[in-house]
Amino acid sequence: MRKIIVFITVMTIFGAQSCLAIESLAPEKDFKAFRGFFIKRFPKVPLDDFVNGPYSMNQDMRKQWIEKEELPPYDFSVDRGKELFSAQFKNGKTFADCFPNKGVGIRQNYPFFDEKKNEVVTLELAINRCLEANGEKPYSYLNDDMAAVTAYMAFTSRGKPFDIKVPNNPRALEAYESGKQYFYQRRGQLNFSCASCHVQNPGERIRGEMLAPALGILNAMPIYRSEWGGMGTISRRFTSCNSQVRATPLEPQDSSYRNLEYYLSYMSNGLPISGPGARP
Amino acid sequence: MFRTASIVALVVFLLTIGADSSIAQSGESDYKAAYGSALAANTKAGELKNQWTRTGSSLVAAHKAAAAGDYAQAVQFSREAEALANASIAQTEREKTLWKESEIH
């Protein structure tokens, strides 16, 4: 009887571990399929060019991008971000005290899964937590100061490949899966998912706007958008996408948005950070 | 003769006032019921993280119409809001499994 119990226990543990191992392979499998899809669909686009979004889709768009980069419309934001980043808080500390490597060249590691808190931490969230921890008022996730600080931090990471990790932890895998589901799930009165535009129709136009491929879509964030007449954060991008399909946006940095960012960033692993960027 | 006519006119007038008031009361209670149902459906859609923008604007329009005393219009906007909220709930339920069909494999 005792041997049977021991045998069952061993088999149960072995089964659970094996199940976890299979689950942990899912992100890697998704990654390969996702990348393969875009490479096959756009064979003429060099892999690293996907980070330029709609500007990677054809020669005319690429020319526009080159011209735009001669006098980048996001420069003012990088300057402002550098000022904010270096400014002392009331307690004498700065953003550098909150981040690894003093906050320089680390954009490519965000978002990450915090295994102590069991949640996805984005760069925008980490910036506001830093402000709050130092007795400062957090920034609006949708406005210029957040865009400026993230623009500066992205600028210090330019060229570094996205390096997002999904640890072998059921909660991390759950967050990853939830982000994936959000990406593919249709919502809003127009019945669109993120994938409807950015997987099924990249390179096509919706009215005057050329749709960007999902691969590399966050590498250029934050962005200056001509349509917005200013800078926008990832939070702004997600909430405005929701509004465009007539879905009421969630609160910025809602766990669904953070999980979505986690999934999309993981899909772009290995592609260089190009932010801040400019978009039509 | 004149007196009879006056009495008849008075009775008709009072009946009309009474009927109008009764219609207004019934309109208001219809609106409250319709608005309550729409709000409940939209709250559920919110719990599912899938409210539609148009639902919100129909609820606002219903509230405005009721404030202006136009209960018929308020009921109409409330019913529209409820239908939209129910459609968003149905969409969420449908997509719980359907999303997998568009996944890249």
Instruction: Give the C-alpha separation, A268 to A218, whole Å.
Output: 8
For A190, which residue in chain B has the nearest alpha carbon?
B52
Terminal C-alpha separation, chain A: 71
Amino acid at A78: V
| Mean pLDDT over the full length of chain A | 92
B18 is a domain residue:
no
From chain A, the residues in CB contact with B55 under 8 A are 248
* A-interface mutation test, from B43, B49, B88, most A Cβ less than 10 A away: B49
Q: What is the pLDDT of residues A63-75, one digit of tens each?
A: 888 888 889 999 9
Q: How far apart, in Å, are the Cα atoms of A79 and each of A100, A131, A147, A273?
A: 22, 19, 11, 18
Residues of A with CB under 8 A from a CB of B: 30, 33-34, 37, 180-181, 184-189, 191, 193, 195-196, 199-200, 243, 246-248, 250, 254, 256
A26-30, A233-237, B13-17, B57-61 — which is least confidently predicted? Answer: B13-17
Domain ranges in chain A are: 29-280
How many distinct helices (H) and strands (E) make up chain B?
3, 0
The CA dihedral of B64, B67, B70, B72, to the nearest 10 degrees, is 70
Averaged pLDDT, B10-35: 68
Asked whether the predicted pLDDT for residue A120 surpasses 70, the reply is yes
Q: What is the pLDDT of residues A164-201, one digit of tens each?
A: 999 999 999 999 999 999 999 999 999 999 999 999 99
Instruction: Give the C-alpha separation, B31 to B74, whole Å.
Output: 6
Interchain proximity B53–A256, CB inside 8 Å: no
Give the structural domain span for B60.
27-95
Structure letter (DSSP) for residue A213: P
- Superfamily of segment(s) A29-280: Cytochrome c-like domain (1.10.760.10)
- Whether the bond between A161 and the residue before it is cis, its omega within 30 degrees of 0, is no
Q: What is the pLDDT of residues A144-160, one digit of tens each?
A: 999 999 999 999 999 99
Asked whether the predicted pLDDT for residue B10 surpasses 90, the reply is no
B10 is a domain residue:
no
CB A75 within 8 A of CB A232: no
The residue annotated as part of the active site, out of A19, A130, A194, A241, is: A241
Residues 6+ apart with CB under 8 A from A249: A238, A239, A240, A242, A243
Which pLDDT band holds residue A43 (cuts at 50, 70, 90)? very high
From chain B, the residues in CB contact with A33 under 8 A are 104-105
B20 is a domain residue:
no
Averaged pLDDT, A245-274: 98
Averaged pLDDT, A121-148: 98
Sign of CA dihedral B97, B98, B101, B105: negative
B60 is a domain residue:
yes
Indicate the SS3 state at residue A278: strand
B17 is a domain residue:
no
B59 is a domain residue:
yes
From chain B, the residues in CB contact with A188 under 8 A are 50, 52-53
Residue A1 confidence (pLDDT): 54
Number of domains present in the structure of chain B: 1
State what percent of residues in chain B have pLDDT above 70. Answer: 75
Pick from A180, A195, A248: which is nearest to B51 by CB? A248
Instruction: Give the C-alpha separation, A117 to A108, whole Å.
Output: 21
Has A197 been annotated as catalytic? no
B69 is a domain residue:
yes
- Is any Cβ of chain A less than 8 angstroms from the Cβ of B97? no
B45 is a domain residue:
yes
Q: How far apart, in Å, are the Cα atoms of A23 and each of A142, A171, A173, A176, B21?
A: 35, 11, 8, 11, 66
DSSP A96-159: GGGSGGGGSS-GGG-SEEETTTTEEE-HHHHHHHHHHHTTPPPPPTTSHHHHHHHHHHHHTTTT
Residue B73 confidence (pLDDT): 97
Interchain proximity A189–B56, CB inside 8 Å: no
The helix-helix angle for A234-244 and A255-267 (nearest 10°) equals 110
